[in-house]
Amino acid sequence: MSHSQIPSEREAASLLAAAKEAASGTVSATEAPQAFMIVLAILSAAIFSLYGVIDTALWYWSPALFAPLIAWYVLWARQRPKRRPALRHSGKYIAVMLLMMLALQFSNFWIPQTWLIAILKFLALVAVFTGALWIMRRETIKSRVKDGNEQAI
């Protein structure tokens, strides 16, 4: 390679940034849509916040509400390229996943007696679930891009 073909430091940084952005975009396209994640968080928070407010038999049937969401994801996933799972998740991903599980467990101890308290529990769970799923999605994308960059060609 002659000296004229070697890019300057600024051009090299620009090319690397463009490659990283393209890789992130490709990986993001294979992850679940953000709307799906938000609907999943809202539906999960609604189900867990209604425990103790509605009849127990009805509450046990409430996970059936996930059926349309699962159908949406399956139909969406059929149109996308198959995603390659991350080989290792980051420490942030594991910490946020454990935080979400801990929040869900603590929410089981908070049984609302009125609709107002159920709404407060719902808002708290939506905030925790949405934030956790958002961070987990971001960390998965970062891990997959990093893993893809470390693969030998």
The DSSP code sequence of 130-147 is HHHHHHHHHHHHHHHHHH
The answer to whether residue 37 is domain-embedded is yes
The answer to whether residue 103 is domain-embedded is yes
Sequential pLDDT tens for the chain (153 residues):
455 677 777 877 777 677 667 666 666 666 777 888 899 999 999 988 888 788 888 888 888 989 998 898 888 878 776 666 666 778 888 899 999 999 989 988 888 888 899 899 999 999 999 999 999 888 888 887 776 665 555
Q: Determine if the pTM surpasses 0.75.
A: no
Domain count, the chain: 1
Find all residues with CB under 8 Å of 82, minimum gap 6, and list them: 30
The answer to whether residue 24 is domain-embedded is no
Domain that holds residue 137: 33-145
